[in-house]
Structure 1
Amino acid sequence: MKALRMTQYGEVDGSLEFQVVDKPSPKADEVLIRVQAASVNPIDNKILRGDFKSFSKVSFPAGIGRDVSGEVVSTGEEVTHFRPGDHVFARVGEEHVGTIAEYITVQVSHLARKPQNLSHQEAASIPLVGLTSYQALVQVAGLKQGEKVLIHAGSGGIGSMAIQLAKSFGAYVVTTTSTANVGWVKELGADLVIDYKKENYLDQLSEIDVVYDTLGGEYTLDAFKVLKPGGRVVSIVGDLDPQAAEELGLNWLIRKLLALKSRKVMKAAKAKSALYRMVLMQANGEQLRELGNLYQDNIISPVIDKTYSFEQSKEAFSYLASGRAKGKVIISMEEPATA
């Protein structure tokens, strides 16, 4: 079968190539999927650049891509809830990374049935951003009806999904975006939109219950300036808190170095009697099924910027790296490119 593979750390053009590899066979608790669509995410480009090689090195050549939607071809002997012909979607576990390929095996516990009202391209846009936001806002932050949540970068793949998810829980949603996208993110459901090109959100906000930090850097520390006492800051790009470092299984020396790096953030959290957590998204089929129900009931809608063909996969990664994507970038195995 044909698959897009990483051959080295570096930029897209020199580090990705199509290769012919053996079609995988499902283990007892896995299913084999014929890929119909996949999506690309910023983490894919970060890993390709080598941003995380100090923590976890890639053995080249290696697959790339974590989101998938497709059709079950065969199942392992322990699989009872899925059968050939089922249409499914998933955020695959790290041991199965490589969804930009003709076939992929997936751990059955990471799998959910595709919402019937969505195409495979739409379904492939959901898993990583959906599970990341669900685990950050619902599982960790415990977002409640009526609470105020600040979601940075509302027009991105994460932000556009998180706005809708927070609204489905009855939250008051504040988001930041550029001038061109103000009206669009309002249509997604944001109650207050701050144009970061014209306004400083720090001058306008206070008493925020939850800050969803999708930008990192100074934004992580600044979150505590607008947070109410006892509030929650959940980050997907900030410093690792001690609990997250432990969950990663890092050795004591690296954990100590990370603890030093995160001192300012943890001090700011303590001063506000606030929670700070760096969320490490985990593949989870049951949570994905719950998210799928929200899409099935039209409470949340998929947001797709561009769709590329399998042969145009490199172009999809380059477009995502440009930072211009408004929603998700999709790679389709079954339809001609729209980009």
Structure 2
Amino acid sequence: MKALQIIKYGELKDGLAINETAKPSSNATSILIQTKAASLNPIDYKLVSGGLKDMVPLDLPSSTGFDVSGIIVEKGTEVTGFEVGDAVYARVPQQQMGTVAEFVAVESTVVSKKPENISFEEAASLPLIGLTSIQALERVGLNKNDRILIHAGSGGVGSFAIQYAKAKGAYVYTTTSTKNVHWVKSLGADRVIDYKKEDYKSIVSDLDLVFDTLGGDYTLDAFQVIKEGGKVTSIAGVPDEETAAMMGIKGYELPENLARLIKEKSANYKLTWMQPNGEQLDEISVMVKEGRIKPIIDKVYPFAEGIEAYLYLATGRAKGKVIISMS
């Protein structure tokens, strides 16, 4: 079968190639999916650059991609709840990376049936950003009527998180650039802050929750705008001690400046390292069927132009998701 693979670390145009590789097969607990579409995420091009090789070591050449939608063509003897012919979608575990390929084998526990009211391309856009948003927000406890700031509302995670937080009854502030203000407003955000013209720190205060999707100073500045006892949930900051233990980091201590900020506000701070989860995809499917979540796609590329899709994603200009269609 054909697959888009990382062949060496470095520039995207040199580090990726479409190659012939062995077709996978299912085991007792997995299913084999004929891929209809796969979506790209920032982690994908960061893997090619080599920026994550210490955290995610790869045996090159390595097939790329984590999000997939398609048709089940084979299932293991112990798999229940799915049948050959079912339309499904998933975010595959790290060890099963390689969704930009004609076939993908994946454990059935991370798979969900595709909502019937969306396309394969739309379904492929949802897993990583949806699971990341749900796990990050629910880990600190998103509640109805919470006032929340979600950074980078036009990005993949941001655009999903806005819709999810609104579906849960929150009041949503978000940041974006001038050209995206009206588009982000259409996602349901209550107050869109144009960071090119406005300083969000002068607009928001006493928030229940900040969703930090950017890291760096944004993580630290979040403590300026939350209330006493507020919450900061991050996907780009440094680990909290619980997450560090989950990641196998021994003897970890919070940076002194972050620890001080947490103490001063009696705040709850968590970093989320997203994990595949079929049951949470089922929850997303329900919200999609009910119209509370709408997939956001920027561009769809054919498989033959997969490298061009990576190059576009790396520009940082995408509004929503970049998809590779295998059809």
Pick the TM interval, shorter chain.
Answer: over 0.9
**Structure 1 residue 197 corresponds to structure 2 residue 190:** no
Deviations 1:80-119 (A, max 9, x none): 2111100000000111100000000011000000000010
Which residue identity does 1:82 align to in structure 2? F
**Structure 1 residue 287 corresponds to structure 2 residue 286:** no
User: Which one of 271, 275, 290 corresponds to residue 268 of structure 2?
Assistant: 275
Distance 1:235 1:45 in 2: 21
**Structure 1 residue 309 corresponds to structure 2 residue 302:** yes
Deviations 1:28-51 (A, max 9, x none): 100000000000000111122122
Q: What's 2:124 paired with?
A: 124
Distance 1:53 1:310 in 2: 25
Q: What's 1:15 paired with?
A: 15
Q: Secondary structure at the match of 2:133?
A: helix
Worse-superposed segment, 207-216 or 6-15: 6-15
Distance 2:259 2:64 in 1: 34
Which residue identity does 1:115 align to in structure 2? P
Distance 2:272 2:279 in 1: 18
Distance 2:41 2:256 in 1: 29
Distance 1:265 1:315 in 2: 39
1:143-158 alignment runs, 5 A limit: 143-158=142-157
Distance 2:107 2:80 in 1: 13
Distance 1:168 1:281 in 2: 21
Distance 1:208 1:7 in 2: 46
**Structure 1 residue 227 corresponds to structure 2 residue 210:** no
Q: What's 1:165 paired with?
A: 164
Is there any run of 5+ residues in structure 1 with no aligned partner, and where? 335-339
Q: What's 1:265 paired with?
A: 258
Shift of 1:266: 2.4
Deviations 1:221-257 (A, max 9, x none): 000000111111010011111111111123x2xx54x
Which residue identity does 1:328 align to in structure 2? K
Tell whether the 8 Å contact from 1:9 to 1:50 is kept in structure 2 after alignment: yes
Which residue identity does 2:110 align to in structure 1? H
Shift of 1:55: 2.8
Which residue identity does 2:101 align to in structure 1? A
**Structure 1 residue 246 corresponds to structure 2 residue 239:** no
Shift of 1:23: 0.5
Deviations 1:163-216 (A, max 9, x none): 000000000000000011111111110001110000100111101111000011
Which residue identity does 2:246 align to in structure 1? E
Worse-superposed segment, 194-203 or 42-51: 42-51
Deviations 1:251-297 (A, max 9, x none): x2xx54xx36x332222112110011110100000000001110011
Shift of 1:11: 1.6
Distance 2:52 2:246 in 1: 16
Tell whether the 8 Å contact from 1:164 to 1:300 is kept in structure 2 after alignment: yes
Q: Give % identity.
A: 52
Q: What's 1:45 paired with?
A: 45
Q: What's 1:210 paired with?
A: 209
Distance 1:121 1:104 in 2: 16
Worse-superposed segment, 217-226 or 264-273: 264-273
Is there any run of 5+ residues in structure 2 with no aligned partner, and where? none
Backbone CA RMSD of aligned residues: 1.0
Tell whether the 8 Å contact from 1:241 to 1:266 is kept in structure 2 after alignment: no
